[in-house]
Structure formats: C-alpha cells, structure tokens
Amino acid sequence: MNSASKPKYDLFISYAHQDLPFVDELVRHLKDQRINVWFDQGMLRLGYSFSNSVQEALERSKHFLLVISPSYLTSAWGNFEMGVALSRAASPANGKIIPLVIGNVNHAALPPLIAQTDSILIGENISFDKLAQDLTAMIERGEQQSRVIEEEASFA
C-alpha cells in the first residue's frame, strides 16, 4: 500500500446482503467504539461505480472482517472480496483478516487460509456491545483470537 492509498478505514466489512440486519447492528456498535468502518450501505457515492467504490475501499482499509454465512459462501461479491483480502494479507505490512462465522457454515467449504485463521464463532444469542468491544481490541492490538460468543442480543 503506497502513501497515496494509506488506510482510510479501520475495517472493511464483507458480507452477504441476506445478513444485512446483523451487519447493520454490528456497524452501529463498532461506530460507537469509534471504529471507522466501510461497508456498502450508505458508503457509495452517487454516479460512482459500485466496483470502483468497493475496490478503493478494499485498498484503503487496514483490516478485513468477513461475515461468513452460508449465503456469503455462495456470493460472487463475497468471494471476490475474500480473495482480495487474502491477497492483501499475504504481506505482513497489511492488516488482518478476521473471519466472523454466523449460521451453519461448513468449514470444509472455506478456502484453506480462512479455515486455518482463528475465527469468531457467533452463537445464537450474542451481545453486539461485547462483540464490538472485542473487535475493537483485536484491531487495536492487531491480532486475532478464537472465541465463541453466546450472549444476549436483539437483532432481526
């Protein structure tokens, strides 16, 4: 990443649109933690191409949160964004990939580098406050942890 494209976002969130209610709630809590997040809802500029916006955001994000669900694994955009994150993560100077697994995901269907990366496994009942705090700590430390989070949450 050159100086002209230094990180603008702390976190790029890649997800399937079927998971938007979960992601909306998570983004709200991350912003409360003062994490500068890019995700495609409300981040696209009128008249600017979707693919150019996504490409620029991918290049200008320090870390990548992959919200992996069964829908995500069949999403062409999700697979594209995951591939870019994997290629960027090959360089130690680039940020981390943080897989966040929701739903019944077959880990054998994940690319090997994602399957071998510690993941955050979301249980049935979660606390978005706690999840946002944990993600913030991971971003600030620049490391990943494996964790199963099973607490109360209210999302549709």
H or E, element range at 31: helix 20-32
- Is 38 a domain residue? yes
Q: Which residue has the tokens 């995901």?
A: 105
Predicted local confidence at residue 93, as pLDDT: 64
Whether 150 has a pLDDT exceeding 80, the answer reads no
- Is 154 a domain residue? no
- Is 156 a domain residue? no
- Is 54 a domain residue? yes
Predicted local confidence at residue 119, as pLDDT: 85
Q: What is the mean pLDDT of residues 125-133?
A: 91
Predicted local confidence at residue 30, as pLDDT: 96
Can you give the residue range of the structural domain that contains 73? 3-149
Q: What is the mean pLDDT of residues 120-126?
A: 84
Number of folded domains that form the chain? 1
Whether 148 has a pLDDT exceeding 60, the answer reads no
- Is 127 a domain residue? yes
Q: What dihedral angle (degrees, nearest 10) is formed by the CA atoms of 125, 111, 76, 2?
A: 100
Q: What is the mean pLDDT of residues 42-57?
A: 58
73-121 confidence digits (pLDDT tens):
999 888 888 888 888 776 666 678 899 999 899 888 888 888 888 888 8
Predicted local confidence at residue 130, as pLDDT: 92
User: Which residues are within 8 A (CB) of 126 and not within 5 positions of it... i.e. 6 or more apart?
Assistant: 149, 150, 151, 152, 153
Q: In what order do the strands lie in the sheet with 97-101?
A: 37-38, 9-14, 61-68, 97-101, 120-122, 147-149
4-47 confidence digits (pLDDT tens):
557 788 999 999 989 999 999 999 999 999 999 988 874 444 44
CATH number, domain with residue 78:
3.40.50.10140
49 backbone dihedrals φ, ψ, rounded to 5°: -70, 145
Q: pTM to 2 decimals? A: 0.80
- Is 107 a domain residue? yes
